[in-house]
Amino acid sequence: MCVRCCDSHIMYLSPDRYCMEYKRSNNETKTVFLYCYQELPNVAMTVGPKLYIIFLFISTACFFSSALIYYLILSADDDKKAPREVHKKCFVGYSLSMGLTFLNLIVLQKVNYECSFMGSLFFVFALISFVWLACLCLDLAILVRNFKKETGSNRLIYLYSLFATIIPSIILLISVLVYDGPAMPNTFIKGYWEENVCKFEEKSDLIFFVPIFVLLFVGFCCVVYTIHLTRKFNKNYENDYDWVRKKQYLRHMLNSNGFLVIISTIWILNAMLGNVIALANQIPFDMLESLQGVFTLFIFVLNKYTRKKVIRTCGDRERSTSEQNDEQQELNDVRRDHQNPIGWRDANGIEGRFD
């Protein structure tokens, strides 16, 4: 590649590093010196694809790990009907569905077979994830509004699960009936690789994007409403013991849910504008998208509130295992005594029989 060079710089270059070109303008001939160099590959275009896949794998593991940790916390909690338990179950549903979404996203970057099936899986799991995100934000608003209640009902989680099942199924059914397949946007399949990958027919992506933006709008409205409630309660319940005790944790949950709504919106906007934004400019957004699982793990699992619960859960499990071992040892001792009715055993566990 050649670029124009200043005349004063020519003396520092060897003859094989530059060339001369004659240009004629206004009946005058000018000599232009061109500096020649080999164009180096774009570092972002070579490193970006590798980092993208690596980050997708890490985020997938983080999503599944977050779901598992919250499931263990739920299984160790004595109060199964506490209002916060429903919120944790919503997060398990969100993390699990996002893990499956990212797993399908990894596969779609590499395979070129069973495209309709893989596209349908991504289509459904992505919609399920955004339904759970909306439910997560809605449940937080309910949790803040009813902060004085110490007991709740599991009916809400059944309702959320019903939404997460019915809404994606209906949208997929509409897509199949109208377009004979999932309206899978090709922008989720990045243009880094030239090898054969799944390419979907150009269909109306609105069937995919419109429901997701509706769900994001629901989540955004719930977050705004929750902010309004917290400010209102800070004034009205300034000296209320229940509110003072819970408001810090509720504020943390509000910030966490708000972050999920923001980063999910960036992800979807990046997918919508994928055909408009230049590939080099799109790479930073792709990196941000691929790190969603890492952000989720840090915010929802590694915070000070959840860390305490994890430590307490692990401690309870260790104590429970120790108690079970002690009970089993006592039971074995009783059985051994029963089998040796005329025998004896000293303090060291040495047994014998009377003659």
| 70 and 90 inside one domain | yes
Residue 206: give the domain boundaries.
Answer: 43-307
One DSSP character per residue, 118-156 reads: HHHHHHHHHHHHHHHHHHHHHHHHHHHHTTT-S---THH
Instruction: Specify the pLDDT at position 331.
Output: 47
Classify residue 335: in a domain, yes or no: no
Classify residue 338: in a domain, yes or no: no
| 16 and 126 inside one domain | no
Q: Which two tokens stand for residue 268?
A: 């979807």
| 71 and 203 inside one domain | yes
Classify residue 345: in a domain, yes or no: no
| 191 and 107 inside one domain | yes
| 133 and 78 inside one domain | yes
CA 332 to chain centre: 48
Classify residue 67: in a domain, yes or no: yes
| 104 and 230 inside one domain | yes
| 206 and 166 inside one domain | yes
Q: Which long-range contacts (CB under 8 A, 24 or more apart) does 227-232 make?
A: 227/254, 229/141, 229/144, 229/145, 230/144, 230/254
Instruction: Specify the pLDDT at position 82.
Output: 62
Q: Which amino acid is at 183?
A: A
Classify residue 331: in a domain, yes or no: no
Classify residue 343: in a domain, yes or no: no
Instruction: Specify the pLDDT at position 6.
Output: 45
**pLDDT tens for each residue of the chain, 355 residues long:** 444 444 444 554 566 655 666 666 666 666 665 555 454 455 555 666 778 889 999 999 999 999 999 998 888 766 555 667 888 999 999 999 999 999 999 888 887 777 788 888 999 999 999 999 999 999 999 988 887 776 666 788 899 999 999 999 999 899 888 887 778 888 888 755 555 677 777 667 888 899 999 999 999 999 999 999 999 888 888 777 778 888 888 899 999 999 999 999 999 998 888 666 555 567 788 888 889 999 999 999 988 888 887 887 776 655 555 445 544 554 455 455 445 444 444 445 555 544 4
Instruction: Specify the pLDDT at position 118.
Output: 85
Residue 89 Cα distances to 92, 124, 274, 277, angstroms: 5, 20, 33, 37
Q: Which two tokens stand for residue 181?
A: 């397949």
Instruction: Specify the pLDDT at position 4.
Output: 46
What is the pTM assigned to this prediction? 0.74
CATH, residue 136: 1.20.1070.10
Instruction: Specify the pLDDT at position 108.
Output: 86
Decide: 57 and 71 in contact? Cβ < 8 Å.
no
For the chain, state the CA radius of gyration: 31
| 175 and 26 inside one domain | no
| 16 and 123 inside one domain | no
First-to-last CA distance in the chain? 105
| 13 and 122 inside one domain | no
| 19 and 114 inside one domain | no
User: What is the SS3 assignment for 347?
Assistant: coil
Domain count, the chain: 2
| 93 and 162 inside one domain | yes
